[in-house]
Structure 1
Amino acid sequence: MGNVLRFLYGKCCRPTTSDESLGPHGVSASTVGVSALARDLFQFEITSQVPEGLSRHVVSSKKAQANWYRKLVEAWRESKPPPRTPEEAARLVIGTLKRHQKADIEGLLTFYGLPLPHTLVELSTVVPTSLPEEVQFELQTLPVDAKAVADGDTITVYVSTADSRESTIVPSNVQLAAVERTRARAAKNYAKADMIHKEIIESGYRVLNLQNEEILARKYRIRLRGIDAPESSMPYGKEAKEELTKIVQGKCLRVLVYGQDRYGRCVGDIYCNKVFAQEAMLKKGCAWHYTAYDQRTALATWEKEARAKRVGLWALSNPEKPWEWRKARRECR
């Protein structure tokens, strides 16, 4: 089926540690999804056997299941590029098996932990070609680390001081400290280098190592404009954080900054690989439209679509507004 499928198969079949729980088809929870489907398609080519346990999720016979896998093997081979995300894998399954029973398609997707048809969303790829009048400045960030995502509407980003805007505003003490740190490391005085780096961090900067190159970068905390995601300790808070992480992890972002909030965070719109992050979060039911601070009709429409589909937090029986949740806790203090 090709190198990509074999690569995913190899990842999927790595030994499972004793503290990892197994998924329904015998792989660890961390490999459920695209790699697990790739593994089973690869195995089917060799053995013509469908995975054990699938029959508990679908209604059709083993013979019918084998027919699905033959079709999926062919579809995967012809897809260019092959599926790499859960959404792409789900679309391939749905498109390939569209003439089969709904219960079978949904059962197969559930078996692999892939998104169900009603939860898939279409995202626009239109990004501003010129800055809106209200934008104060624009940031082009370095790749985002997963640990930088605080929750479903707040992330920390870094911008290289080589950026034209940043280069003119780096404090002289930070510039000197960066030079001294480099000298300390060259002399293998790592204790001194670490001490200097702490001073740099306290000034709002950090030295990042990207592809074996050290880059002095400025830190920005970004609050996504116009949405309010559940807090981490609220129902669906963990899922909202995970969704935003999937959107931004490892990617360079374009951030249009409109101002600051009372916590000193930059309030902005985030674009990632031509995807508008706020649109993705709203359409997937991971956030509310924050109408108290943003009246954009598009955001209201995206929230309404997610509510109608009952996806994400809208599948909860009585989702609580994050701003009301925070207010209630302030009043209890």
Structure 2
Amino acid sequence: MELLPIFVFLLVAVIFFAWLFKGKEDRVSPPKPVARPNHPNLKPFQSKTAKPVAQTINGPAYVVDGDTIKIKQTQIRLFGIDAPEMNHPYGKKAKLAMVALCKGQIVRAEITEKDAHGRTVAQCFLPDGRDLSAELVKQGLAIDWPKFSGGVYRDMETPDARKKMWLADARQKGRMHVWEKFEAGQK
């Protein structure tokens, strides 16, 4: 008989708690909508005009020539400049300057595009923030290529750079016959 009051008490407690918590999710107020700030310049996403997020590759650079490096198996053409080819005047010197700049450094390549030849083009930076393209131009071992750079490196060119790199200058000006004549004489 002593168990009956305990049993009744437990039964009442269970029923009470079941009633208390029954439908609690119905009693919770719905979340308030998030207030979005009204930005007059904010436009909806347009997939046709959207630009991809810039890709970055970091790592030691293997120097191919004066304006080309390889980072993690990706061959990268330096943005906005033209350095001499290896068999052109100053070509080996440009490569050696690039080796000196990159040796022992982790280079950051911010990919800008794939060019018409399918090459990866990137602005490349040393850990201290220096732009590799700018450094080569300042050393007189590359010239600005305004068609691709918008002229950002032109003011950095040494006074004799275009004379020294006359083949690159000729190519930029569309005088490929000069380039082809030089190449034919190299064979």
Same-fold call, TM > 0.5?
A: yes
In structure 1, the residue matched to 2:176 is 327
Kept in 2: contact 1:141–1:157 (CA 8 A): yes
- SS of 1:141's partner is strand
1:140 aligns with 2:54: no
Relative contact order higher in (CA < 8 Å, ≥ 6 apart): 2
1:140 aligned counterpart, secondary structure: strand
CA RMSD of aligned residues (A): 2.7
Q: CA deviation at 1:321?
A: 3.4
Quote the offset at 1:315 in angstroms: 7.5
**Alpha-carbon contact 1:240-1:287 (below 8 Å) kept:** yes
Q: 3-state DSSP class of the match of 2:147? A: coil
What's the CA shift for 1:136? Answer: 4.7
Q: Which residue is 1:228 aligned to?
A: 82
Per the alignment, residue 184 of structure 1 pairs with: none
Alignment of 1:276 onto 2:131: yes
C-alpha distance in 2 between matches for 1:227 and 1:247: 16
Return the offset for 1:263. Answer: 2.8
CA deviation profile, 1:46-74 (whole Å, cap 9, x unmatched):
xxxxxxxxxxxxxxxxxxxxxxxxxxxxx
Provide the rounded CA distance (Å) in 2 between the counterparts of 1:268 and 1:157.
11
Corresponding residue number in structure 2 for 1:101: none
Alpha-carbon offset, residue 276 of structure 1: 0.9
Give SS of 2:135's match: helix
Pairing 1:253–2:170 present? no
* Residue 156 of structure 1 pairs with residue 63 of structure 2: no
Shift of 1:141: 2.0
Scaled by the length of structure 1, the TM-score of the pair is 0.35
Pick the structure with greater CA Rg.
2
Question: Structure 2: which 5+ residue stretches go unaligned?
Answer: 1-49
- Is the CA contact 1:289–1:300 (under 8 Å) kept in the aligned structure 2? yes
- Which of the two has greater helix per residue? 1
Per-residue deviation, residues 309-333 of structure 1 (Å, max 9, x unmatched): x4xx5684xx413263592355888
Residues 247 and 327 of structure 1: CA distance in aligned 2, closer, same or farther (over 3 Å): same
> Given that residues 134 and 258 in structure 1 are in contact (C-alpha distance below 8 angstroms), is that contact kept between their aligned partners in structure 2?
no
1:248/1:267 Cα in 2 relative to 1: closer, same or farther (>3 Å)?
same
Q: Does the Cα contact within 8 Å between 2:57 and 2:110 map onto a contact in 1? A: no
Report what 1:108 is aligned to: none
Shift in Å at residue 275 of structure 1? 1.2
Give 3-state SS (helix, strand or coil) of 1:232's partner: coil
Q: 1:153 & 1:134 partners in 2: Cα distance?
A: 26
Gaps of 5+ in 1: 1-132, 159-218
